[in-house]
Structure 1
């Protein structure tokens, strides 16, 4: 089983969504939603300080030993020197036991720690990174995920649920 996570912020509140699925699934097996009041303020260059506590609210509800990997919307590393971004920080918090996969829609420099993949008919790549699991294998699995567009169906569903205000508390 895999877990994909996303967070949507509104002022000092956050909606955190996790979806559980298998690589071949078209739709999530389960959806977990948490609302958090008083999230940390955004500090440029230290986004993980705001995001990690939110992600942990979902992770703490699960037996992470049953997870093959966790997918985050972002990068594992912030530079070619392998300084940790959100994904790397999460890997550290989880004691380097659970593989983390970063799937990002943008990159911010010539990053040697990612693989670009193009899905569907899109000319825009997804930027895949990984820690604790082979990047080439993960990139192929993301490429093969269900859906004919740039973003795999599961990750698109996650994004829609996260941003859907009708699910507000």
Structure 2
């Protein structure tokens, strides 16, 4: 199974969502999981992972981690050409470096070309920026490229984004 994760913040709470699917080409999720974190860590410039990682850790407790073979994060694995760790790398090390992580970002970082592959989907002239750890970057990019949907952002990642921002039930 593959899980794509994202976190959305409102006031003093965070909503974490995981969209679980079996194959990169799937049009529907196998399962959608949700967790809430009260009073998440405050945002610190340059330390985004400190805010996001604890929320993802709580979310992942709702899965059978042994069934997950890839984690997709909204963001970067590496932030620059010197491999400064980004959220994806911290997620990877959190799981003892046993589950490959693919980062999918909508915007570029300056001085971050060496470990990023741009992909273009649909008719968009704007790329997605793919990074990865423990999976070949070209393979990671091909997986995201092959995801279901005709637009720039793959259907299941768009679903994840919408679920994450949906009002708390």
Same fold per superposition (TM over 0.5)? yes
1:149 paired with 2:151, answer yes
Deviation of 1:65 after TM superposition, in Å, equals 2.1
Q: Separation in 2 of the partners of 1:106 and 1:154?
A: 19
Residue 138 of structure 2 is matched in structure 1 by 136
1:4 paired with 2:4, answer yes
Task: Structure 1: give runs of 5+ residues left out of the alignment.
Answer: none
Deviation of 1:37 after TM superposition, in Å, equals 0.6
Q: Separation in 1 of the partners of 2:108 and 2:60?
A: 26
Secondary structure in 2 aligned to 1:147?
Answer: coil
Residue 25 of structure 1 is matched in structure 2 by 26
Q: Deviations over 1:46-87 (max 9, x none)?
A: 000000000011112222221120000000011111111100
Q: Separation in 2 of the partners of 1:161 and 1:90?
A: 21
Residue 166 of structure 2 is matched in structure 1 by 164
Q: Separation in 2 of the partners of 1:44 and 1:9?
A: 16
Point out the more displaced range, 107-116 or 8-17: 107-116
Tell me which stretches of 4 or more aligned residues in structure 1 moved more than 6 Å.
none
Task: Structure 2: give runs of 5+ residues left out of the alignment.
Answer: none
Secondary structure in 2 aligned to 1:35?
Answer: strand
Q: Separation in 2 of the partners of 1:36 and 1:125?
A: 32
Q: Is the 2:5–2:19 contact (alpha carbons within 8 Å) kept by the matching residues of 1?
A: yes
